Structure 1
Amino acid sequence: MAEHIAKGEEFERKAEKKIKGWGLFGSKYEDAADLYQKAANSFKLAKSWDRAARVYIKLANCNLKSDSKHEAARAYVDGANCYKKTSPKQAISCLDQAVNIFLEINRLNMGARYCKDIGELHEQAQDFDQAIIYFERAAELYQTEEVNTSASQCKQKVAQFSAQLGKYQKAIQIYEEIARYSLNNNLLKYGARGHLLNAGICQLCKGDVVAINNALEKYEDFDPTFSRTREYRLLADLAAAFDEEDAAKFTAAVKEFDSISRLDAWRTTLLLRVKENIKAKELEEDDLT
């Protein structure tokens, strides 16, 4: 390790000396860039991630000086990958720089990819507001490039986090949009019922019985086969239990569905919120009597 550190420091010193010295326009930055790359590699071999990341940032700046923008963006990405091991906040900063450069040179697909990366880092940090911003941006860029599958994945993340934050209407609109898109695609149409189930659960979280029943009718218009699915039956039973303020009936409907098709943590969390709302209403009525 010590040997790799020593080599890294030597390459870094040489790079900085090269920049300060005389050279043909641009050439000294290209020479320095080669040395910074070697320094970063040495620090990585020593698992000195912060030092490697800082050198990658110097490499990025060097590449910008010689107008090698794509290489500069790649250096920021390499720096971010090192910082991911020690400082997610610094990794986000590097990726932000990379995204800006990729967009400047019209590499929208790459910009989308690293916006998604930033979104995932915010997700890991449980910062869902920021995660939404970056997944939305990634979705827009993917859509511009007609990478529709990746755009849809990012939109689903936006809907997921929006619902977690209580922004149910936003989540509903996204899930309904994805369901409609899926129904028009032979490869995706069987997944539409899952998106409609998610939208319906968000409707339940809003607590408007009329809106829930209207949504079920709308979903039948989207897909005439939906009313024959287990997802539809679950939503209809849950809507009835909510209307009747019957927590036991609500729990029974969830358990029956879950015994055949396991409900994931996200759906379970939202359904627990609905159940708590029903229980609260039951207590209100008990207090009144």
Structure 2
Amino acid sequence: MAQIELKAHQLRNQAEKKMSSGGFFKTLFSNGACQIEESIEYYTRAGNLFKMAKNWTQAGHAFSDAAELSLRGDNYTDAAFNFVESANCFKKCDVAKAVELYLKAIEIYKDKGKIVAAAKYHQIIAELLEDDNDYYEAVEHYEKAIDFYKMEASYSSANKCLEKVAEYYALWENYDKAILIFQEIACFDLASSLMKYCAKQYLFRAAVCLLCANLDVTSKLETYINMYPAFEDSREYQLIVCLMECIEDNDFEGFTNAIRKFDSVTHLSQWHITMLLRAKNQIQDIPDLK
């Protein structure tokens, strides 16, 4: 690894020497473009060697320098590519720097009309910020990704981001917004013969939010059945009805057993468990009048 890093440093020094030789005015003439291209090659080769050595910081800087030179040479495609390469390195050691570099790539993609690529990297930023526990900022980038995906009619990709946004709004107790989003995704799936079977999971999530918000679940369930008649025969629907009855009867044990039984067949995510525990707290808040 030491030899690889040594070679990488040598290549980086060659790139810097190439750009500094002759000064600024020399780059204005015909050989200036060649100098830039050669320096970019040295920087990218150095970046790849630093990656092999797992020196992510130096790799990130090398690719970033290559990207900046590509911009000087008006090579926007390579600039965006190298900004992404740099960000991919920095995300292993410096989240803030990674986000900064992804955003530089996004600006190029937007300017060049590559809207889906811009959406993709907003989504990647959101996922990176989630891992860094920066959830509010993550949602902002998910929402930007959604807007761009919808502009290009990439609705399936948009819905993946919408699902994440709805989950966070629910966790933040903004149940009305979460319910609307889950219903929106369900409606999209119901319009497709291939995706129709997926609708029940989003109707189920919306119903869970209704339970947590202590809203009129019964009338909404009727609406969901009208939207998707098969929902009434699903285990998800039966669970919601059972949990409603447990809340009404102040049946703490029945509520817990119903969830345990459902989870033994259909695994509940951490989001579902968190939300259902909130709903169960309504039982604990009801005084025992016996």
Asked if these proteins are the same fold (TM beyond 0.5), I'd say yes
Residue equivalent to 2:143? 136
State which drifts further: 25-34 or 101-110.
Answer: 25-34
Query: What SS does the corresponding residue of 1:153 show, helix, strand or coil?
Result: helix
Unaligned runs of 5+ in 1: none
- Pair 1:19 & 2:19 matched: yes
Residue of 223, 228, 236 corresponding to 1:231 = 236
Tell me: CA distance 1:55–1:136, structure 2 relative to 1, closer, same or farther (3 Å).
Answer: same
State which drifts further: 197-206 or 256-265.
Answer: 256-265
Residue of 271, 278, 281 corresponding to 1:276 = 281
- CA drift of 1:56 comes to 1.1
Give the whole-Å Cα distance in 2 for the aligned partners of 1:278 and 1:94.
49
Contact 1:26–1:65 (8 Å) recurs in 2? no
For normalisation by structure 1, the TM-score amounts to: 0.91
- CA drift of 1:224 comes to 2.1
Residue equivalent to 1:7? 7
Structure 1 ranges of 4+ moved more than 6 A: none
Query: Mapping of 1:1-289 within 5 angstroms?
Result: 1-20=1-20, 21=22, 22-23=26-27, 24=29, 25-208=32-215, 210=216, 212-282=217-287
Percent identity (aligned)? 33
State which drifts further: 252-261 or 80-89.
Answer: 252-261
Considering only aligned residues, what root-mean-square deviation do their CA atoms show, in Å? 1.8
CA deviation map 1:79-120 (0-9, x unaligned): 111112222232222112211221111111111111111111
Contact 1:120–1:131 (8 Å) recurs in 2? yes
State which drifts further: 72-81 or 251-260.
Answer: 251-260
The one-letter code sitting in structure 2 at the alignment partner of 1:269 is: T
State which drifts further: 214-223 or 25-34.
Answer: 25-34
The one-letter code sitting in structure 2 at the alignment partner of 1:276 is: N
The one-letter code sitting in structure 1 at the alignment partner of 2:46 is: A
Query: What SS does the corresponding residue of 2:286 show, helix, strand or coil?
Result: helix
Contact 1:81–1:91 (8 Å) recurs in 2? yes
Give the whole-Å Cα distance in 1 for the aligned partners of 2:100 and 2:173.
28
The one-letter code sitting in structure 1 at the alignment partner of 2:94 is: S
The number of aligned residues is 283
For normalisation by structure 2, the TM-score amounts to: 0.91
- CA drift of 1:204 comes to 0.9
Query: What SS does the corresponding residue of 2:281 show, helix, strand or coil?
Result: helix
